[in-house]
Amino acid sequence: MAASVVLGLSPGNTSGVMAASSTRLHFRTKLNSELGFLTSQLGGIKISSNNSPIPSAPISAPLRPALQPVARRVCPFTGKKANKKNLVSFSNHKTKKLQFVNLQYKKVWWEAGKRFVKLRLSTKALKTIEKNGLDAVAKKAGIDLRKE
């Protein structure tokens, strides 16, 4: 079999390519009547036919992201984020490390909205909110509490 593949790859012998590829890859397509589309065994490509029993989705359908967005480790009130540091061993070998912000999920009473607001904030921002008030800190950071 290996000899036919080597012979098939030579530029002058195209019949060997067809013989080797047709025996190994099986270029067959079949019509799946209950689903109404052609399926290729080589790449799994689906080609829809005109007499499809399943209605196709409208083109103007909204697209949903495949992955949900991941919350970053950044405090929205203070802007604190991870700090890079070196771990230094006895032999003075330096290894990179990240010092993350101490973020906490906290329900804070919002006086203007007369309700609790669930926030993910750093402990430093929590102390600042206790000192200055939630409205003042949110206004300074440019955060709208009504949509949260």
- The pLDDT, as a whole number, for residue 52 is 54
- The pLDDT, as a whole number, for residue 107 is 94
Mean of pLDDT values over 98-122 = 93
Question: Domains of the chain by range and CATH?
Answer: 83-141 (2.30.170.40)
Q: How confident is the model at residue 50 (pLDDT cuts 50, 70, 90)?
A: low
Q: Report the C-alpha gap between 79 and 38 in whole angstroms.
A: 53
The answer to whether residue 42 scores a pLDDT higher than 60 is no
The answer to whether residue 26 scores a pLDDT higher than 50 is no
Measured CA distances, 140 to 54, 101, 129 (Å): 54, 20, 11
- The pLDDT, as a whole number, for residue 90 is 97
The answer to whether residue 74 scores a pLDDT higher than 80 is yes
- The pLDDT, as a whole number, for residue 28 is 45
